[in-house]
Structure 1
Amino acid sequence: MMIHKRTRIRFGILLLSLLLLALAAAGCGNKKDEPESKQAANVEQVDDSQQGSGSAKQDAAAKQWDKMPDMSIDPSKQYSAVFHTNKGEFTVNLFADEAPTTVNSFVFLAKNNFYNGITFHRIIETFMIQTGDPTGTGTGGPGYNIPDELGSDHKYDVGTVAMANTGMPDSGGSQFFICTGEVCSNLNTQPNYTIFGQVTDGMDAVMSIAKTPVVMGEDGNPSKPTEKVTIDSIDIIEK
């Protein structure tokens, strides 16, 4: 009798363990309305199985830092970023006063040419376009993470620029997204992504990127571009 009872208890524990594992696995995927990155903290974000050979891997590996950059911007000044892409040019007003740490990191990376040649690896026209990963896989970052800067009055409207993250607090790095459709407003119910800018000019170029043909992506949605869309360079303007 005792053996039978223990067997049932062990069987129950096994079933519970399997259920928890299944729930954990379900929570790991990117959902259509969550602009998550899969980057990890403070590690080199290069996956040889998904990268090209030679210089592409070396370039991705070279764009790494072991800590967040020191504050170098003046939050009392106005900063903007002019994006040059293979689908046109657009300008983003950066919210240095409301998200100084995020803007400081972005400006640091842009001035160090981190974003040059990086692709828009995830595109959902009715939602957003996502970029900032040197590996182009959704797993890459700069080697460090930055804290969230939430609680501003800004909303996730078309043209809003915000940090992607892993779904965990303070897990932003270099990946960010630009809202391009009404679905993005769903994020307003639970604002977990630091808003650090707004497109002020060239929204036609942003929408041109958003209209790039896509196929099914790893997130289980049509989001993987069928053509290469790149950031050629970013100019930082300070006033």
Structure 2
Amino acid sequence: MSDRLELRIKNKAMYLLAERCIFFPENQTLVIADVHLGKAAHFRKAGIMIPQQAGTDQDFGMLQHVLDKYDAARIIFLGDLFHSSENEAWRHFVDFSDRHPHTELILIKGNHDVLPLAYYQQGNLTVHLETLQEDFILYSHAPLPAVPPGLLNIAGHVHPAARLKAKGKQTLRLPCFHLETSLLLLPAFGSLTGTFALPKGNAQQFVTTGRAVLAVK
């Protein structure tokens, strides 16, 4: 078992990472979906008792880990980077971006990214409102309803998971990368996000245990 699984699409290498994101070695780019920073504070504001730092320390630790591990020059966030209005977690992100002035940070806005544009600029983020196309890859937050021929839509939003059969009648649900003909869905990066089980159908699915990436047969 390996902590990454290499795919080649149109001769472009990409690594599906156990850390629930992907890495393009060609241009040292990490692609990360659905971090949902500040979700714990959002829950607390709604009266749901949860530790104030729940998720935050773990998510920033994992973000720093993958950045260092793959010596990434860029990070593309596929939306829902931050969960709601400003709170302490956002100031942690500004500190993170200040510590990495030479790392290009790109955000494709998601439905939870509701902060004013000035906040994202303070975090050194280049913001795209809907999509970003690079070569044959079309990045978006949610899967696009129609993808132009020859392009691959890489998206988040769904928080995909695969159901695996265990002994007896038990099943195990794990976050997964879900690859169809023109769509690659990324699992949610954030530790406080839920998952949505997607039927495999004719797609390829690759589950992550947090330590390894495995193809679903």
Q: TM-score under structure 2 normalisation?
A: 0.28
Higher relative contact order structure (alpha carbons within 8 Å, sequence separation ≥ 6): 1
Give the greater-gyration-radius structure (CA): 1
Structure ranking higher in strand proportion: 2
Q: TM-score w.r.t. structure 1 length?
A: 0.26
More helix by share: 1
